[in-house]
Amino acid sequence: MRCPYCKQDNDRVIDSRSSADGYSIRRRRECLDCGRRFTTYERMEETPLRVVKKDGSRVPFDRNKILQGMLKACEKRPVAMEELEEITARIERQLAEVFDREVGSKYIGQLLMDELRKLDQVAYVRFASVYREFKDVAQFFEELKPMLEKGSHGAAADPRP
């Protein structure tokens, strides 16, 4: 491994640990030439997952697209970045477990919508309106209808005076 400071290929591993997700190894290294320390991460080589878009084109899977979509949907909402990172990691793990080479963008979108529905209803509706390409208010209302009905049932069952 080349030292990022002096560019020499002469180092030793000081410490190795599994990362929090268990899918990589973090190695702390020391350059034997300049004495500086740096960290490297080792991951298992995988066949990159490709996403089949609505138009049939194929693009490499990019976890940042999932995260960016959620960030837009959750803008000005009380949602912690850590929660969004956890959801992104969970979706990425699910995809890796279920698919070997290709996954449809519709499948990813549905996973994302399911997660947002549990996390924040406003963020869910924001994401759904873009993802499902609502053409008018009627389509928007159809998406809201189940949530509104669920909310009204909850209010009727409320024992408070």
Q: Is the pLDDT of residue 60 over 90?
A: yes
Amino acid type, 51: V
Tell me the whole-structure pTM to 2 decimals.
Answer: 0.59
pLDDT on residue 135:
72
Give the pLDDT confidence of 96-146 residue by residue, as tens digits: 899 989 999 999 999 999 999 899 988 988 888 887 776 777 776 777 777
Closest to 52 in 3D by CA, of 111, 103, 91? 103
For 9-39, how does the pLDDT look when each residue is reduced to its tens digit (9 = 90+)? 999 999 999 877 777 899 999 999 999 999 9
Under DSSP, is residue 54 helix (H, G, I), strand (E, B) or coil? coil
pLDDT score of 125: 86
- pLDDT of 160 over the 60 cut: no
